[in-house]
A and B are shown apart, each in its own frame.
Chain A
Amino acid sequence: MKRRVLPGLPLSLGITLVYAAIIIVLPLIALVFKAASLGPADYWRIISSDRAVASYVVTISCAFVATVFNLVFGLALAWVLVRYRFPGRRIIDALVDLPFALPTAVAGISLTTLFAVNGWFGGPLSALGIKVAYTPLGIMIAMAFTSLPFVVRTVQPVLEELDPTLEEAAQTLGGSDLSIFARVVLPLLTPALLAGVSLSFARSLGEFGAIIFIAGNQPFETEITALLAFIRLEEYDYPASAAIASVMLIAAFVMLAVTNLLQARALRYTVRN
């Protein structure tokens, strides 16, 4: 039987396509166009300059550390929220989303104030010889903060749905908690963990607001790629800014592809189980 066709397709699809074209696609094409107008030699010179490469290294290495932290802490947080009952659990559950709700500039000045040498945490840490604000460690903390919810929110529902009989079966076979976790639970969580990790890493690569306050922004040491693109703009070096931004755009699309691939795999995995 042929389905009845609902009305409103021309209007709704028309609005959607026009809006997506003007608001989302056009600016990105303009950026690619501007970067492409440089010519291959100039483009390569700009994106492979020492300062640009140093900014990639700072951004990627800090994002890596922040993501590893979020992998471990996010899993622990999801585990505690799903498996244990304790006073304040619901409040903690709601607060996990604070990094998404709190504007990045607000997060930036708060974290900087907390971790500056005279701050609540920075003071005791500097007494131990650890400097956080205006070092790569500060960048890592800002990145970890802004991408904290991803792993928690991807793992939490899978953990809630986990079939207890799988653990029970492993327990009756005499497995220790650690080996059951490593060999039964963790493999079931892996697709969700990977999806969360890729979202978290992608967000860290692009983060700007929270980082620039705490980073110190010294070229070659604590300058992230997003800031370099911004600085080139302020210097009216528009082609260089376009080139660097285009590198970030490519990285974003690679991460988008990776994330979609991982999520498609995770979906297949959950459906099969």
Chain B
Amino acid sequence: MAKHLSGRRPPRIGDAPNFRRALIGIVLFFVAVVVIAPLAVIASHAFSKGLPYFAAAIAEPDTRHAIMLTVMTALIAVPINTAFGIAAAWAITKHDFPGRRLLLIVIEIPFSISPIVAGVSYLFVYGLQGLFGPVLEAAELKIMFALPGIVLASMFVTAPFVARELIPLMQAQGRDLEEAATSLGASGWRTFFTVTLPNIKWALLYGVVLCNSRVMGEFGAVSVVSGNIRGQTNTLPLHIELLYHDYDAVGAFAAASILATLAVITLVVKVALERQGAGRRSRPASLAGNDSLSEVKP
């Protein structure tokens, strides 16, 4: 880190000026190609025919509907997954029960599974050929190719997002404060809201922001369960695909620019929250970038 690089210390390996300059140059070149160019190409194509054309593309009814559907999906899926994440973290870190390790692994599963597999799996639960298909059809409940299916698939894909931020943090914080609060007579809810929540708020927000970003951008899983009905079950990412294949480049990139803006905002908020101590990276005690929840000792 910076303090080791001060002039008093001998240079560390790789600090030779020419090597340093060359490596920075190569890395910056690849970052420009791989990360910055895609953002630039979105902006360039979205505005290629000028601002009025861009505005018209966004205001087009099917695009507006796709935006609404995406926002609605997030408004349902994100709060539910947040509640799940808090409940899971409370149960796992504040109590002892057999099978905690297994539960951690189950919660983590969606990260390892292809969104396509997730979508196909949901079809075999709620689709016509699925486990509940006949029952749902008899009851005239439509889950697949409709909003509930889109929400369910989004919830599967993002189920671990909040839990994985809270569990390592709450594990590290221990139970002493909560035990003190309840021994002084506070109820469970009061203990959670006045003792636990203030200690986890940034990590919670961090998980919520990442969860929202993924819900709004999810493509594979939703594309299996949505049915892609234009103006009805097309979320924004699906609508981008449709416009792109219609050779409506400006429309596709205008819609894409909304999601790209959301991605950039997410990154900015993420960095701001990391400064507040949220996110794994700011906790040096935990293993480096461990994407797994299994670092939690049972």
Give the B-binding residues of A (Cβ under 8 A): 3-9, 11-13, 15-17, 19-20, 23-28, 30-31, 33-34, 73, 76-77, 79-80, 82-86, 88, 90, 92, 94-107, 109-111, 113-114, 119-121, 144-145, 148, 150, 153-158, 160-161, 164, 167-168, 171, 177, 180-181, 185, 192, 195-196, 199, 202, 205-209, 213, 226-227, 229-230, 233, 238, 241-242, 245, 248-249, 252-253, 255-256, 259-260, 263-264, 266-267, 270
Give 7 A-B contacts (CB < 8 Å), ordered by A residue: A4-B179, A80-B27, A82-B1, A92-B31, A202-B112, A241-B120, A242-B124
Alpha-carbon distance between A240 and B194 when the two chains are bound, in angstroms: 53
B290 and A267 within 8 A (CB): yes
Residue of B nearest to A226 (CB): B116
Q: Closest residue of chain A to B30, judged by CB?
A: A73
Query: Given the known A-B contacts A171-B13, A206-B116, are A12 and B259 also in contact in the complex, defined by CB atoms under 8 Å?
Result: no
Which of chain B's residues 130-180 have a Cβ closer than 8 Å to chain A?
A: 130-131, 152, 155-156, 159, 175, 178-179
Among A13, A90, A148, contact of B91 (Cβ-Cβ < 8 Å): A13
Write out the residue numbers on chain B whose beta carbons fall within 8 Å of the beta carbon of A25.
106
A residues less than 8 Å from B10 (CB atoms)? 168, 171
Kindly list chain A residues whose C-beta atoms are within 8 Å of the C-beta of B224.
Answer: 230, 233
Given contacts A24-B156, A95-B31, contact A252 B112 (CB under 8 A): yes
- Residues of A contacting B20 in the complex (Cβ-Cβ under 8 angstroms): 84
Q: Which residues on B sit within 8 Å (CB–CB) of A181?
A: 13-14
Contacts of A252 in B (CB 8 A): 112-114, 117
Q: Which of B12, B90, B115, B152 contacts A23 (CB 8 A)?
A: B152
A160 to B16, CA, bound (A): 19
B217 near A34: Cβ-Cβ < 8 Å? no
Evaluate contact between B24 and A158: CB separation under 8 angstroms: no
| Closest B residue, CB atoms, query A207 | B114
Q: Which chain A residue shows the least CB distance to B287? A: A267
Taking CB atoms, residues of chain B closer than 8 Å to A97 are 267, 270
Whether a CB of chain A sits under 8 angstroms from the CB of B198 is no
Contact status B95-A13, CB under 8 Å: yes
Q: Give the CA-CA distance A199 to B288 in the complex, in Å.
A: 14
Contact B91 A12 (CB under 8 A): yes
User: Which of chain B's residues has its CB closest to A144's CB?
Assistant: B34
The answer to whether residues A154 and B289 also contact, given A20-B107, A213-B244, A238-B129 and a CB cut-off of 8 A, is yes
Interface membership of B294, Cβ < 8 A: yes
Q: Is the Cβ of B240 less than 8 Å from the Cβ of A106?
A: yes
Inter-chain contact B219/A94, CB cutoff 8 Å:
no
Q: Of A4, A76, A145, A209, which one neighbours B237 at CB under 8 angstroms?
A: A209
Task: Please determine whether B292 and A27 come into contact, CB atoms closer than 8 angstroms.
Answer: no
A15 touches B83 (CB 8 A): yes
Specify which chain B residues have a CB less than 8 angstroms from the CB of A154 in the assembled complex: 288-291
Interface of B (DSSP majority class)? helix
Residue B232 interfacial (CB < 8 Å): no
Closest to A34 in B: B124
List 19 extra interface pairs beyond A12-B95, A30-B124, A158-B288, CB under 8 A: A8-B94, A9-B97, A16-B91, A24-B159, A30-B130, A84-B23, A95-B35, A102-B263, A106-B260, A110-B39, A121-B37, A144-B34, A145-B38, A153-B289, A205-B114, A252-B113, A260-B105, A260-B294, A263-B291
Contact B287 A245 (CB under 8 A): no
Give B295 Cβ to nearest chain A Cβ, in Å: 6
Q: Which of A99, A157, A171 has the most CB of B within 10 A?
A: A157
Answer whether A109 and B244 are a contact pair too, CB < 8 Å, given A208-B219, A267-B295: yes
Contacts known (A24-B156, A77-B31, A256-B109); A160 close to B284, Cβ less than 8 A:
yes
Contact B281 A156 (CB under 8 A): yes
